[in-house]
Amino acid sequence: MLRIEHISKQFDSGTTALADVSLRVQPAEIVALVGASGCGKSTLLRIVAGLDAPSAGRVFINDEPLAGPNAAVGVVFQEPRLMPWLTVRENVRFGLADLAQAEQNARTDAVLERVGLTNFAQAVPRQLSGGMAQRVAIARALVAQPALLLLDEPFSALDPFTKMDLQEHLLHIWAYDRPTLLLVTHDLEEALVLADRIVVLRGHPGHIHEMVRVELPRPRRRTDAVFQAYKQRLLDALDVRAAVAV
């Protein structure tokens, strides 16, 4: 579904963020990217989103080369980035202007129900909690029915309890259409709760150091001994500075 082939990225400043990164992600797979700050995780996500161009290498979505933002790719950022003058419903349906009115309404109603915000459809962003606002952002990305959803530390600004709740909620939402998910996170437990595979990036420039397949049934218990063993394996795969950052 997603093919990343020999991606490198050097900025105009001369800094090289990524070096020869290759990765394949299968349809409906959830893959998490973890690593220390500055190892190129978010840079790689921006390249896959079509928001930045690689210095070398190529990205393919469903065997088609990526050449900029693509309708098959949705993005959820760290902040909800909602338009404060629009209601929840209007924020979610904003990107559907090219569709018939009936289709806009049907998709918007369905996704609001899916994220549990039907009763807040007429609220404006200032009336929402941080967790609710991020659910609106997820709904806005999902309403376009992307084949690939990119998430750049989507829960990092939330308190621990809200974060854990939304991690489980994201899996519930994903189960409807099972889009492919590519997630950037500093939170190893988040990666282990959500992902089928975890890619450990290391170094400056960033490169793939290890891939860990998580062979645990869902839902996953954070206190389970096997879960904790996976967490230790990830810590071992990170260098000292990365482990401290996590």
pLDDT digits (tens, 9 = 90+) for 19-64: 999 999 999 999 999 999 889 999 999 999 999 999 999 999 999 9
pLDDT of residue 24: 97
Answer whether residue 77 is part of any domain.
no
Burial track 188-198 (b if 16+ CB lie within 10 A, e otherwise): bbbbbbbbbbb
Do 157 and 49 fall into the same domain? yes
Judged on CB neighbours under 10 Å (0-12, 13-18, 19+), 142 is: buried
Mean pLDDT of the residues in the chain: 93
Do 111 and 213 fall into the same domain? no
pLDDT of residue 246: 43
Do 168 and 235 fall into the same domain? yes
pLDDT of residue 95: 87
Do 29 and 52 fall into the same domain? yes
Do 60 and 126 fall into the same domain? no
Do 128 and 193 fall into the same domain? no
Please determine, for residue 114, whether its predicted confidence score (pLDDT) is greater than 60: yes
One DSSP character per residue, 47-66 reads: HHTTSS--SEEEEEETTEEP
Do 111 and 222 fall into the same domain? no
Question: CATH number for the domain including 195?
Answer: 3.40.50.300
For residues 140-167, give the mean pLDDT: 94
Structure-block tokens of residue 89: 């419903």
pLDDT of residue 148: 97
Do 159 and 139 fall into the same domain? no
Do 121 and 19 fall into the same domain? no
Please determine, for residue 241, whether its predicted confidence score (pLDDT) is greater than 80: no
Answer whether residue 31 is part of any domain.
yes
Range of the domain at 185: 2-72+148-245
Phi and psi at residue 222, in whole multiples of 5°? -65, -25
In 3-state terms the chain splits into helix, strand, coil percentages (rounded to 5) of 40, 25, 35
Answer whether residue 206 is part of any domain.
yes
pLDDT of residue 240: 46
User: Which of residues 98 and 243 earns the better pLDDT score?
Assistant: 98
d(CA 233, CA 227): 10
pLDDT of residue 242: 42
pLDDT of residue 140: 95
> How many domains does the chain divide into?
2
Answer whether residue 78 is part of any domain.
no
pLDDT of residue 97: 87
Please determine, for residue 123, whether its predicted confidence score (pLDDT) is greater than 60: yes
